[in-house]
Amino acid sequence: MIETRGLTKLFHDKKRGEIRAVDNVSFLCKPGQIYGLLGANGAGKTTTLRMLATILEPTDGTAVVCGYDVIDAPEKVRANVGFLSTATALYPRLTSQEMVEYFGRLNGLDEATLEKRVDELFSRLDMNSFRQRRCDKLSTGMKQKTSIARTLIHDPQVMIFDEPTIGLDIMTARTIIQFIRECRDRSKTVIFSTHVMSEVEKLCDVIGIIQSGKLLAEGSLAQLRQHYQEQDLEEIFVKVVAPLYAAQESI
């Protein structure tokens, strides 16, 4: 479970002054659910997810992940979270197996459990053919599978995906989408950020629309359609963000 309460993040920029990257965001994401955070570039999706993964510390407000507060117990939060984004690259000089084992050890797995988990994951994700290959020699698809195995090695209860399909070819993106579904089916709490409408339509149980750091709308796809009297998600999105987007552009 993820619960954010007034989550806020300010950045200081020499030229632009204070920037409210995330502004008083509160939402709830339950186990067995996929929460989709939908927003344009720079809307605050990545900063929100980085705060949930305790990579960044909130300026104000907080979030509770798997019962642990992100400010008080960041290491416990991370031990229960699998974080995947296109920015989470692999160590080029480690093999696929070494990469996954490294994160298993950092998550406190003992050697016997680690060996079992690695064998299981590599078979499940069909990775045995390249387990001894160095990460810099892997194809994009193989790299993504290794990243998935890396996030799953400690069997986390919460999965955070930050635009995981951006820049990937269709086949690799499908693998990721399938993997996100599987996480839900295994009753994990899943939060997923994107600006691709079709992915949200296909995957998300709850959608949160974010712009300028503010959570402007939230609900299931059906609820949003009813509320905004639009069938097309893109039209709904434009309706929601247009006022703030125009104001931001004028600045």
Partner 1 sequence: MSLRNVGIVYRKELTEALRDRRTMISTILVPLLAFPLLSVGIGTLATFLINKAREETPKVMILGGDDSPGIAAGLKSLEKIEIVPSLPNWKEQIVNKDIRAAVEIPPGFETDLKQQKSDTVKIYMYEGEMKSSFAVDRVDKYLNDYRESVVKERLSSNHLAASMLRPFDIQQANVAPPEKVSGAAIGGFVGYMVILLCLTGAMYPAIDLTAGEKERGTMETILSSPISRMHLVLGKFLLVLTAALGTAALSVFSMGVSFSALHHFALASGGDKGDAAQLLLDLGPRTVISVFVMALPLAVMFSAALMTISLFAKSYKEAQSYIQPLMFVVIIPAVASVLPGIELTPKLALVPILNASLLCKELVTGTYHWNYIAIIFFSTCVYAAVALYLAVKMFQREDVLFRS
Which residues of this protein are in contact with partner 1, per CB under 8 A?
A: 11-12, 50, 53, 55-57, 75-76, 78-79, 81, 83, 85, 87-94, 98, 102-103, 105-108, 134, 150
Closest approach of partner 1 to the CB of residue 225, in Å = 34
CA 189/CA 33 separation, integer angstroms: 6
Please say which residue, 88 or 248, places its beta carbon nearer to partner 1.
Answer: 88
CA 94/CA 110 separation, integer angstroms: 20
Closest approach of partner 1 to the CB of residue 87, in Å = 5
Closest approach of partner 1 to the CB of residue 159, in Å = 11
Please say which residue, 83 or 122, places its beta carbon nearer to partner 1.
Answer: 83
Please say which residue, 94 or 197, places its beta carbon nearer to partner 1.
Answer: 94
Please say which residue, 101 or 200, places its beta carbon nearer to partner 1.
Answer: 101
Closest approach of partner 1 to the CB of residue 140, in Å = 14
Please say which residue, 23 or 101, places its beta carbon nearer to partner 1.
Answer: 101
CA 132/CA 142 separation, integer angstroms: 12
Closest approach of partner 1 to the CB of residue 55, in Å = 5
Closest approach of partner 1 to the CB of residue 133, in Å = 13
How many residues can be counted in the chain? 251
Please say which residue, 93 or 124, places its beta carbon nearer to partner 1.
Answer: 93
Give the per-residue SS3 of 80-122. CEEEEECCCCCCCCCEHHHHHHHHHHHCCCCHHHHHHHHHHHH
Q: CB under 8 Å, gap of 24 or more: what pairs does 93-96 form?
A: 93/134, 93/135, 93/136, 94/134, 94/135, 95/131, 95/132, 95/133, 95/134, 95/135, 96/127, 96/130, 96/131, 96/132, 96/133, 96/135, 96/138, 96/142, 96/146, 96/149
